[in-house]
Structure 1
């Protein structure tokens, strides 16, 4: 079992988003919001994706932030190889609009 080193700013939805992206490689907030294990609205998923992108765990593939993919750092986090608490604290999603 992999033990992930989570940060204080992270929420449980973050892991669900990252796990989904590991399985599906590219997705949208709308696609993730309808997944059984996400339990969030499209807007909530989009906000968390912005935070995860600011922490370099995911990357947006388009300027309008429709499509998102897992980064190398996101994969390493899921594998328990990095401690995201040591990374700079991400900005609040509303500050990134």
Structure 2
């Protein structure tokens, strides 16, 4: 089970899944090839937000790859509301990975 933060939207999981499956991706590719039924502009906005939060890394030219945190989120071992790692049973496996109020550097 995934533990998404209040800041996440429905398209975020689709974007992360697409990039995991394809190893990288751009909003234009996702709109053309993926099962993402949102505008390219909205997908681009969400990719930038996911990168700001540390789930994606922007390589330039609109291309993104998944980070370790992005993989952990998709695997259900990262709670993106409280930024804590989770064990296989959904319990906290470690202290928060961010300090309260800290934003991820991009």
Range of TM-score over shorter length: 0.7 to 0.9
Q: Structure 1: which 4+ aligned runs deviate by more than 4 Å?
A: none
Q: Whose relative contact order is higher, 1 or 2, with alpha carbons under 8 Å and at least 6 apart?
A: 1
Name the SS of the counterpart of 1:16 in structure 2: helix
Partner of 2:90: none
TM-score normalised by length of structure 2: 0.75
What residue ranges of structure 1 are gaps of 5+ in the alignment? 91-97
- Cα offset for 1:33? 1.2
Q: 1:53 to 1:80 in 2, by over 3 A?
A: same
Larger helix fraction of residues:
1
TM-score normalised by length of structure 1: 0.81
Quote the Cα distance in structure 2 between the aligned partners of 1:35 and 1:60: 19
2:60 is the counterpart of 1:43: no
- Cα offset for 1:36? 4.8
Name the SS of the counterpart of 1:26 in structure 2: coil
Q: 1:60 to 1:8 in 2, by over 3 A?
A: same
Quote the Cα distance in structure 2 between the aligned partners of 1:17 and 1:37: 9
Q: 1:4 to 1:28 in 2, by over 3 A?
A: same
Partner of 1:93: none
Q: For the aligned residues, what is the CA RMSD? A: 1.6
2:58 is the counterpart of 1:60: yes
What residue ranges of structure 2 are gaps of 5+ in the alignment? 84-100
Tell me which structure has the larger Cα radius of gyration: 2
